[in-house]
Structure 1
Amino acid sequence: MNNQTYYELYRRSSIGTALTDALDDLISEGRIAPQLAMKILSNFDRGITEILADKVKANLTFKGHLDTYRFCDEVWTFLIKDVTFKFQGGQGPNSSVSADKVKIVSCNSKKPGEQ
C-alpha cells in the first residue's frame, strides 16, 4: 500500500468544495464517521493529482502583470493582474480568456524530505 501524502490544493476547487460540503452534511446527519470522510478526502487528493498528471495534455500560457509574490513553506504564491490565458492542444479550438486578477499557488511535485 502506498502511504505517500498528497497536497490538499484541489479541495478548494469547485468539485473539491462540493465533495467537502456533501461529506459535512453526511457527518452532521450521522450517516458517516468523520474518519471515513477524511479517508474519502485523502483518496480524492490522490485521485485528482494522478488523473490530472496522466490525462491532461493541453498547454496553457498566460501573460499579465505580477502584483505580489511570496515563498513560504516550499509554496510559491503569485498574484497577477490583467491576465490573458491562451489554451492550446485541447479537444476544442485554441482559445483565450482574460481576467482582472488571478492567484496562482505552486508547490514542488515532491514534498520536502521526499526523494
Structure 2
Amino acid sequence: ISYQLYRSTTLGNSLQESLDELIKSQQFTQLALQVLLQFDKAIKSSLAQRIRNRVDFRGSLNTYRFCHIWVW
C-alpha cells in the first residue's frame, strides 16, 4: 500500500505539519523522521489486520482502439 493514501488523511496531514515545524526549527530532525516512519508502519499494520473488504471491477468493452506500430 502506498503511503500517500493514508498520509493525506486528516491525521496524516496534522502529523506531517507538526513534524515539519520541528524540522524547520532544526529541532529533533532525526526524531521527526523516525516518528513518520513509525506512523507508516503502524498504519500499514493496522490496515492489514483490520481491513477485510475487497473491491472488484467488472465491465464490458464496447470498442477497442488498436494502434499498430510498425518497426523497420
User: Which bracket does the TM-score occupy, shorter chain normalised?
Assistant: 0.5 to 0.7
TM-score normalised to the size of structure 1? 0.39
The gaps in structure 1 that reach 5 residues or longer are: 1-6, 65-115
Tell me what 2:38 maps to.
43
CA distance in 2, matches of 1:59, 1:8: 19
1:55 corresponds to which of 37, 50, 58: 50
CA distance in 1, matches of 2:16, 2:38: 12
1:28 corresponds to which of 9, 24, 29: 24
CA distance in 1, matches of 2:58, 2:19: 38
TM-score normalised to the size of structure 2? 0.57
Largest Rg, 1 or 2: 2
Tell me what 2:65 maps to.
none
Aligned-partner residue type, residue 34 of structure 2: K
Q: Larger % of strand: which?
A: 1
Q: Secondary structure at the match of 2:56?
A: strand
Corresponding position: 1:17 with 2:3 = no
Q: Which has the higher contact order (CA 8 A, sep 6+)?
A: 2
CA RMSD of aligned residues (A): 2.8
What is the number of residues matched between the two proteins?
58
Structure 1: 4+ residue segments shifted above 4 A: none
Q: Secondary structure at the match of 1:45?
A: helix
Aligned-partner residue type, residue 12 of structure 2: G
Identity of matched residues, %: 33
Rate the CA distance shift 1:8–1:58 in 2: closer, same or farther, 3 A: closer
Tell me what 1:85 maps to.
none
TM-fit CA distance, 1:11: 5.8
Q: Secondary structure at the match of 1:59?
A: coil
Q: Secondary structure at the match of 1:18?
A: helix
CA distance in 1, matches of 2:24, 2:50: 35
